[in-house]
Amino acid sequence: MKILDNYQQLFSELVSIIESELSKGSSGALGFCGGRSIRSLYEQLLDNPDYISKENWKKLQFFLVDERLVSVGSRESNFLQLEKELLEPLRKKSLISSEQMHPALKDDCDAESLIELYQDTLHANGKELLVAFLGVGEDGHIASLFPGHFSGVLESGAEEQDFLLVEDSPKPPLRRISASPSLLRRARHVFLIFSGSAKRQAWDNFNNPDLGVDDCPAKLFFGQSNLSCLVNLA
């Protein structure tokens, strides 16, 4: 486990991963969270795009690790944030194409079909995430895996799936699509982002040996060598 102090270090670590992994010839799927904690990384990527070669920009595929089940184009959509704040600016710079951008929501499609389609799309692009970016909530949740809900996901057998339907989120909206523990465990690299003073308790819980994954889902990755934690609690 590596501790990062700021977004510049996170950016540098990400560039190193992309340039190293994609130089082997394969494509790479990046799984992004929603929320405020990821926005500073977007700024770093847009301000310093030349740190990633043009060839490797074309090899990247952009996915979500969680999405709210809202209408396509809703301001509450995590993909809309990703598209407006990162993907469209990259596309306008001719660094990526629309075909590399993968929203989870589609018109006239029920939740179960959305999950199946999104899983199929990921499988068509390598079946695993090269990098998973996970903002950690004040309660220690990641993606849409919340404390007290996590054990039910594991016990249901649904963790064999790559994406799950969450119907009882403690944060609105109730219904969401989330990357499963299985998919997140298979990610080759994981970044947990503890950003802001409100995340201090989550960081303490993450490091508390008396708490388990059900109490703090971020602990799914505790101690893993492929884990980097950005810890900025100011």
- Residues 86-107: tens digit of each pLDDT: 999 999 999 999 999 999 999 8
What pTM was estimated for this model as a whole? 0.94
pLDDT tens, 190-211? 999 999 999 999 999 999 999 9
| Angle formed at CA 152 by CA 183 and CA 135, multiple of 5 degrees | 50
pLDDT-derived band of residue 153, with 50, 70 and 90 as boundaries?
Answer: low
According to the model, what pLDDT value does residue 150 have? 63
39-47 vs 7-22: helix axis angle to the nearest 10?
60
Question: Does an H or E element contain 150, and which?
Answer: helix 150-155
Domains of the chain (ranges plus CATH)?
2-232 (3.40.50.1360)
According to the model, what pLDDT value does residue 27 have? 83
C-alpha dist (Å) from residue 126 to 96, 119, 121, 155, 227 = 18, 11, 9, 27, 20
List of residues 6+ apart from 68 with CB closer than 8 A: 34, 74, 76, 77, 78, 173, 175, 176
pLDDT-derived band of residue 24, with 50, 70 and 90 as boundaries?
Answer: confident
